Amino acid sequence: MVLTDTHTHQYYQTDTDKRALLMQRCFDSQVTRLFLPNVDVASIGMIDTLVGEYPENCFAMLGLHPCDVKADWQTELDQIVKAADTRKIYAIGEIGIDLYWDKTLLVEQQQAFRRQIKWAKQLSLPIVIHCRDAFDEVYAILEDERDEKLRGIFHCFTGTLEQAQKVIALGFYLGIGGVVTYKNSGLDKIIEQIDLKYIVLETDSPYLTPVPHRGKPNESSYLTYIAQKIADIQRVDISIVAAITTDNSKTIFGV
């Protein structure tokens, strides 16, 4: 069985020994494919380190996180774009719009999102979308940018069935993480109605830790709890969930 974590910030652990233990726990849990979303210029080097240590298991993205879009976002994004010339990347992400923390930079977030979508198209890469309290704003841009090159993952999907169907109709996959294990999230009722061919697994480590470790830092090895929960919801064996979601990740990222 091979499990794929399509969205993990495991590179945030900068202690070499602790990072090695994190990765060993992944392998022990059969989580052997980890995709690493970038957030800003500073995180590029941390991702490089983890990819360098585990080149067969870790795969890099580049992008400017919406929460890191500031007044000088174009300067920072220019540096991120330049970084693509000297390293292999598999997606542009994570990118999108976040109106949970700050609504004052919506226009800048929209501009940065559009620019990075166009960049992804130029490189024929998928995008990995961060969307928080901003589904309508994100969806409007995706509809506007919709063409045969627009594809990717709606990271940390926690929306309604109608929103899930809209995402799927755009040709995107739903990134499902620890929230599906939360008793009152309601996400289980949505996933029950979604075919596995539209789903990928993620942890968003070190955030959104699944039950039974909720309240503690998340890690990619905990992907097994998410996979098992989805298997229970869909009434299939966990090996089926692992196989289909890993195949989906290969379709998206090309590796």
**Domain count of the chain?**
1
CA proximity to 80, closest of 67, 93, 70: 93
Query: Residue 153 forms beta bridges with which residues?
Result: 128, 173
Average pLDDT over residues 147-156: 98
State the pLDDT at residue 231: 98
- Indicate the pTM of the whole model: 0.98
Cβ atoms of 3 and 201 closer than 8 Å: yes
CATH assignment at residue 120: 3.20.20.140
What is the residue range of 52's domain?
3-253
Kindly indicate the confidence band of residue 3, based on its pLDDT and cuts at 50, 70 and 90. very high
CA distance 204 to 176: 10
Per-residue pLDDT tens for 20-38?
Answer: 999 999 999 999 999 999 9
Average pLDDT over residues 135-151: 97
Kindly indicate the confidence band of residue 7, based on its pLDDT and cuts at 50, 70 and 90. very high
State the pLDDT at residue 201: 99
Q: Which pair of structure tokens corresponds to residue 130?
A: 């961060």
Query: Residue 93 forms beta bridges with which residues?
Result: 128
State the pLDDT at residue 180: 98
State the pLDDT at residue 128: 98
